[in-house]
Amino acid sequence: MDLARRLSYRRGEEGTVAEKSAGDGRAAGAGGTAEIGRRVLRLRTERGFTQRQLAEPAYTAAYVSTLESGKVRPSEVALRHLAERLGVTYEELATGRSPQDATRLRAGLTDARRTLATGDTEDAAARFAALGTEADRLGFADERAAALLGLGDCALETGELTTARDHFEAAEKLLADEPLTRRVPAIRGRAVAHLLAGELRYSCYLLESAIDELNASGLHDPNALLLLYTASIAPYMDMGAHGRAVRAAELSLALAPSVDNTELVAQMHRGVARTLIAEGRTAEADASLAKAQELYERLRLRTDLAHCHWMRGYVHAQDGDLERAESELRIARDMLASKRAALFTVQVEVELADVLRRRGRTAAAEALLRPLLAARPGGPGDGGDSGDGGDSQNCEAAAVSGHGQEAVELTAERGAVHAGGAHRLLGLIADERGDAEGAEEHYCAALSLLERTGAAGDLADLCRLLGDLLRREGRLEAAMDAYRTGLGHRAAPGTTTLGPAPAEPPIEGAH
């Protein structure tokens, strides 16, 4: 026996402190020293080896016995010797994981991602759950984290925002010892969940904190930074922080040439379009969305493609081209409904209802909105006569709302900005038919929702509508309060959920 082997044998036989702390951290593997011992015993028994046959020529039967009983922590050298004798890889013996298992799990995760992008969200969630369970059993942390990210994305689509946050937080915790760049997708997922819940400031806080930490630590990873900057544009715009949104868009455009992920580049084009709308550059915004759409079509990402149609509908609505806006929003709504992306579907329906109302089809708009909000029997938006009826509009209303899935209810905790938008629209409809009391009730409900979110453009627009209503009712002091509140916010193009930005409240006209 040569010197190196004798020293290795002696360290293993005597169980010295050096042996117990030697080797890389993976030697303890899934379950630690005792788990490795059981693994060695199982494989040795399956192959019909005695302890002496397995140990020789480098070790003794006594060492193998001690190892199998979990009383000694094997070194990397010892594990490599035993793995060679047992006919398995070092990684498989140390961790219980085989390269074949890793390959199989990764292929399964790719298939689940494809299902999420092109097929049924519930089917994708079931696949991610099964893969996550298996990855957890085998001790594959990376694959387990990827499955949790997939489950989080599924929950976002179905509107289960608390569940989505839980999945993203679990993935982030699982990768706690990894570099920040590895945790960025989970952080971004959490931020999106908070955004959809109407928690705009906290969404921005999560994204900005990650960006600051990346830059401060010198981890200038273009993919991670692009993901974070792009995700920050929407909450910035909803909060009225136009300057920050434009800066994030500029940095995204600068990073894009260094990014090799086509999906990230497409997301960047979608985000940049939002800032272009705010600058009144609707043609450029539409061109940016066309680029994103082309990339998503190439990648066959159906949900993201639907979001492009959604955003293009929004651009046309801001620009006053209501026919094209309706067409794009209908396409987006049908694509999302077919994927059972419930929350996104109803958000699109709120914006479609705005376009229908502006086109004079009030009954269809109201029928679309009514199932999305909890309403008291007999109260505004509960299905009462809209006053502009007619069989043709009623038939259209039924067709518009019949997308074949149970609607998600918009609440303060789920889709708060669009919930406010729905109440705003129902208030407008009530106002137009002379129901001042119903209109005020809806406007106040919207105000309560939007004040919680801090969606500045929507707040400014709503305060103008409420102020106008109160002024017509002769309640000038209350109208002035509403106008003053509105002036504290900014309703620039692209900062409102619905329709073009209104003019500033007519303060002087209230006197």
Q: Taking a C-beta distance cutoff of 8 angstroms, is the pair 352, 364 a contact?
A: no
pLDDT confidence of residue 459: 92
Closest of 200, 183, 248, 231 to residue 416, by C-alpha: 200
| pLDDT tens figures, 444-463 | 999 999 998 989 889 999 99
Angle at 396 between CA 394 and CA 400, to 5 degrees: 120
| pLDDT tens figures, 348-401 | 999 999 999 999 999 999 999 989 986 443 344 444 444 444 444 444 444 444
* Residues 308, 267: Cα–Cα separation, whole Å: 9
> Is the link from the previous residue into 74 a cis peptide, with omega within 30 of 0?
no
Q: What is the mean pLDDT of residues 79-106?
A: 87
| pLDDT tens figures, 264-307 | 999 999 999 989 988 888 899 999 999 999 999 998 888 899 99
For residue 249, name the pLDDT band (cuts at 50, 70, 90): very high
Specify burial of residue 87 (Cβ count, 10 A radius: 0-12, 13-18, 19+). Answer: exposed
For 323-342, letters b (16+ CB in 10 Å) and e give: ebbbbbbbbbbbbbbbbbbb
Closest of 82, 96, 81, 85 to residue 28, by C-alpha: 96
* Residues 224, 368: Cα–Cα separation, whole Å: 39
Closest of 254, 260, 262, 287 to residue 273, by C-alpha: 287
Mean pLDDT across the chain: 84
* Residues 38, 398: Cα–Cα separation, whole Å: 64
Q: How many CB atoms lie within 10 A of CB 91?
A: 16
Does 153 have pLDDT greater than 80?
Answer: yes
| pLDDT tens figures, 115-140 | 998 888 899 999 999 999 999 988 78
For residue 82, name the pLDDT band (cuts at 50, 70, 90): very high
Q: How many CB atoms lie within 10 A of CB 1?
A: 12
* Residues 439, 84: Cα–Cα separation, whole Å: 78
For 345-381, letters b (16+ CB in 10 Å) and e give: bbbbbbbbbbbbbbeebbbbbbbbbbbbbebeeeebb
- What's the pTM value of the predicted model, to 2 decimals? 0.76
Q: What is the mean pLDDT of residues 432-450?
A: 95
